[in-house]
Amino acid sequence: MPGFSRTELSKKTGWWASDQATLYFDDVRVPIDNLMGPENRGFLAIMDNFNGERLGLVAGSLGMMKACLEDAISWAQQRKTFGKTLIQHQVIRHKIAEISVRIDVVEAYLNQICASIENGENPVAEISKAKFFATKSLEYVVSEAVQILGGAGYMRGCRIENIFRDYKVMAIGGGSEEIMRDLAVRQMGL
Protein backbone atom coordinates (compact mmCIF):
# COMPACT_ATOMS: atom_id res chain seq x y z
CA MET A 1 0.00 0.00 0.00
CA PRO A 2 1.24 3.52 -0.61
CA GLY A 3 2.73 4.95 2.58
CA PHE A 4 3.97 1.62 3.92
CA SER A 5 7.72 1.07 4.30
CA ARG A 6 10.10 -0.91 6.45
CA THR A 7 13.65 -0.70 7.72
CA GLU A 8 15.48 -3.95 8.48
CA LEU A 9 16.84 -4.39 12.01
CA SER A 10 20.34 -5.47 11.04
CA LYS A 11 22.34 -4.90 14.21
CA LYS A 12 20.65 -7.34 16.57
CA THR A 13 22.78 -9.25 19.08
CA GLY A 14 20.93 -12.50 18.51
CA TRP A 15 18.00 -14.13 16.72
CA TRP A 16 19.78 -13.63 13.41
CA ALA A 17 17.41 -16.04 11.65
CA SER A 18 14.39 -13.92 12.61
CA ASP A 19 13.51 -11.38 9.91
CA GLN A 20 12.54 -8.31 11.93
CA ALA A 21 12.02 -4.72 10.87
CA THR A 22 10.63 -1.37 11.91
CA LEU A 23 7.36 -0.84 10.06
CA TYR A 24 6.17 2.60 8.98
CA PHE A 25 2.57 3.49 8.14
CA ASP A 26 2.50 7.04 6.79
CA ASP A 27 -1.10 7.96 5.88
CA VAL A 28 -1.74 4.39 4.76
CA ARG A 29 -5.31 3.69 3.64
CA VAL A 30 -6.28 0.07 4.19
CA PRO A 31 -9.32 -1.18 2.28
CA ILE A 32 -12.09 -2.72 4.39
CA ASP A 33 -11.49 -6.04 2.58
CA ASN A 34 -8.06 -6.20 4.27
CA LEU A 35 -9.47 -5.85 7.80
CA MET A 36 -8.38 -8.75 10.00
CA GLY A 37 -11.10 -9.41 12.57
CA PRO A 38 -13.65 -6.94 13.94
CA GLU A 39 -12.87 -3.24 13.67
CA ASN A 40 -11.34 -1.66 16.80
CA ARG A 41 -10.69 -5.09 18.36
CA GLY A 42 -7.03 -5.48 17.38
CA PHE A 43 -5.69 -4.79 20.86
CA LEU A 44 -7.85 -7.55 22.31
CA ALA A 45 -6.64 -9.96 19.63
CA ILE A 46 -3.03 -9.17 20.53
CA MET A 47 -3.76 -9.63 24.23
CA ASP A 48 -5.40 -13.02 23.54
CA ASN A 49 -2.26 -14.08 21.69
CA PHE A 50 0.11 -13.26 24.55
CA ASN A 51 -0.55 -16.36 26.67
CA GLY A 52 0.27 -18.68 23.77
CA GLU A 53 3.36 -16.65 22.94
CA ARG A 54 4.52 -16.72 26.56
CA LEU A 55 3.94 -20.45 26.84
CA GLY A 56 5.97 -20.92 23.64
CA LEU A 57 8.81 -18.87 25.15
CA VAL A 58 8.77 -21.09 28.24
CA ALA A 59 8.99 -24.18 26.01
CA GLY A 60 11.72 -22.58 23.89
CA SER A 61 13.71 -21.67 27.00
CA LEU A 62 13.37 -25.26 28.20
CA GLY A 63 14.69 -26.57 24.89
CA MET A 64 17.64 -24.18 25.02
CA MET A 65 18.44 -25.28 28.57
CA LYS A 66 18.35 -28.94 27.53
CA ALA A 67 20.74 -28.21 24.66
CA CYS A 68 23.12 -26.46 27.08
CA LEU A 69 23.04 -29.42 29.45
CA GLU A 70 23.62 -31.91 26.65
CA ASP A 71 26.60 -29.99 25.27
CA ALA A 72 28.07 -29.27 28.72
CA ILE A 73 27.92 -32.96 29.70
CA SER A 74 29.43 -34.05 26.39
CA TRP A 75 32.29 -31.56 26.75
CA ALA A 76 32.85 -32.42 30.42
CA GLN A 77 33.09 -36.13 29.58
CA GLN A 78 35.73 -35.50 26.88
CA ARG A 79 37.82 -32.54 28.10
CA LYS A 80 40.69 -33.41 30.42
CA THR A 81 42.31 -31.12 32.98
CA PHE A 82 44.82 -32.03 35.67
CA GLY A 83 44.87 -35.64 34.53
CA LYS A 84 41.12 -36.34 34.59
CA THR A 85 37.99 -35.42 32.68
CA LEU A 86 36.07 -32.32 33.72
CA ILE A 87 33.10 -34.47 34.78
CA GLN A 88 35.32 -36.00 37.47
CA HIS A 89 35.82 -32.59 39.13
CA GLN A 90 33.31 -31.94 41.90
CA VAL A 91 32.75 -28.31 40.92
CA ILE A 92 31.70 -29.34 37.40
CA ARG A 93 29.45 -32.11 38.76
CA HIS A 94 27.74 -29.53 41.00
CA LYS A 95 27.21 -27.17 38.06
CA ILE A 96 25.62 -29.98 36.07
CA ALA A 97 23.37 -30.92 39.01
CA GLU A 98 22.20 -27.31 39.36
CA ILE A 99 21.53 -27.01 35.62
CA SER A 100 19.62 -30.29 35.65
CA VAL A 101 17.37 -29.36 38.56
CA ARG A 102 16.42 -26.03 36.96
CA ILE A 103 15.48 -27.91 33.80
CA ASP A 104 13.38 -30.36 35.80
CA VAL A 105 11.52 -27.57 37.60
CA VAL A 106 10.74 -25.65 34.41
CA GLU A 107 9.61 -28.82 32.63
CA ALA A 108 7.36 -29.87 35.52
CA TYR A 109 5.80 -26.41 35.72
CA LEU A 110 5.26 -26.32 31.96
CA ASN A 111 3.58 -29.73 32.05
CA GLN A 112 1.34 -28.60 34.92
CA ILE A 113 0.30 -25.46 33.05
CA CYS A 114 -0.40 -27.38 29.84
CA ALA A 115 -2.55 -29.86 31.78
CA SER A 116 -4.61 -27.03 33.26
CA ILE A 117 -5.07 -25.50 29.80
CA GLU A 118 -6.18 -28.90 28.50
CA ASN A 119 -8.78 -28.87 31.32
CA GLY A 120 -10.19 -25.58 30.00
CA GLU A 121 -8.51 -23.27 32.49
CA ASN A 122 -6.79 -19.98 31.64
CA PRO A 123 -3.80 -19.93 34.06
CA VAL A 124 -2.52 -16.42 33.32
CA ALA A 125 -0.68 -16.03 36.65
CA GLU A 126 1.04 -19.40 36.24
CA ILE A 127 2.03 -18.68 32.65
CA SER A 128 3.46 -15.31 33.73
CA LYS A 129 5.40 -16.86 36.62
CA ALA A 130 6.66 -19.70 34.42
CA LYS A 131 7.82 -17.26 31.77
CA PHE A 132 9.99 -15.18 34.08
CA PHE A 133 11.23 -18.24 36.00
CA ALA A 134 12.13 -20.07 32.78
CA THR A 135 14.01 -17.11 31.31
CA LYS A 136 15.92 -16.46 34.54
CA SER A 137 16.73 -20.18 34.68
CA LEU A 138 17.90 -20.07 31.06
CA GLU A 139 20.14 -17.10 31.87
CA TYR A 140 21.75 -19.10 34.69
CA VAL A 141 22.01 -22.33 32.70
CA VAL A 142 23.63 -20.83 29.62
CA SER A 143 26.10 -18.87 31.74
CA GLU A 144 27.10 -22.04 33.63
CA ALA A 145 27.33 -24.02 30.38
CA VAL A 146 29.71 -21.42 28.95
CA GLN A 147 31.78 -21.72 32.15
CA ILE A 148 31.98 -25.49 31.74
CA LEU A 149 33.12 -25.20 28.13
CA GLY A 150 35.46 -22.33 28.90
CA GLY A 151 36.80 -20.55 25.83
CA ALA A 152 35.21 -23.13 23.53
CA GLY A 153 31.78 -22.05 24.79
CA TYR A 154 32.43 -18.51 23.69
CA MET A 155 33.40 -19.32 20.10
CA ARG A 156 31.09 -18.80 17.12
CA GLY A 157 29.77 -22.07 15.78
CA CYS A 158 29.28 -23.51 19.25
CA ARG A 159 25.60 -24.16 20.05
CA ILE A 160 26.02 -22.76 23.55
CA GLU A 161 27.53 -19.52 22.19
CA ASN A 162 24.48 -19.16 19.94
CA ILE A 163 22.15 -19.67 22.91
CA PHE A 164 24.23 -17.19 24.92
CA ARG A 165 23.53 -14.56 22.22
CA ASP A 166 19.85 -15.46 21.90
CA TYR A 167 18.73 -16.04 25.49
CA LYS A 168 18.00 -12.40 26.37
CA VAL A 169 15.30 -12.01 23.75
CA MET A 170 13.43 -14.85 25.46
CA ALA A 171 13.22 -12.65 28.57
CA ILE A 172 12.02 -9.63 26.59
CA GLY A 173 9.58 -11.20 24.11
CA GLY A 174 5.97 -11.59 25.16
CA GLY A 175 6.49 -9.14 28.01
CA SER A 176 9.58 -8.49 30.09
CA GLU A 177 10.35 -10.31 33.31
CA GLU A 178 9.25 -7.23 35.25
CA ILE A 179 5.90 -7.11 33.43
CA MET A 180 5.43 -10.85 34.03
CA ARG A 181 6.04 -10.47 37.76
CA ASP A 182 3.56 -7.61 38.00
CA LEU A 183 0.95 -9.43 35.91
CA ALA A 184 1.32 -12.56 38.03
CA VAL A 185 0.71 -10.64 41.26
CA ARG A 186 -2.29 -8.81 39.77
CA GLN A 187 -3.74 -12.14 38.55
CA MET A 188 -3.30 -13.44 42.10
CA GLY A 189 -5.68 -10.67 43.19
CA LEU A 190 -3.06 -8.55 44.94
Which positions are annotated as active-site residues? 53
Cβ atoms of residues 139 and 62 within 8 Å? no
CA 59 to each of CA 108, 117, 168, 173: distance values in angstroms, whole numbers, following the listed order = 11, 15, 15, 13
Instruction: Report d(CA 164, CA 83) in Å as an integer.
Output: 29
Instruction: Report d(CA 36, CA 159) in Å as an integer.
Output: 39
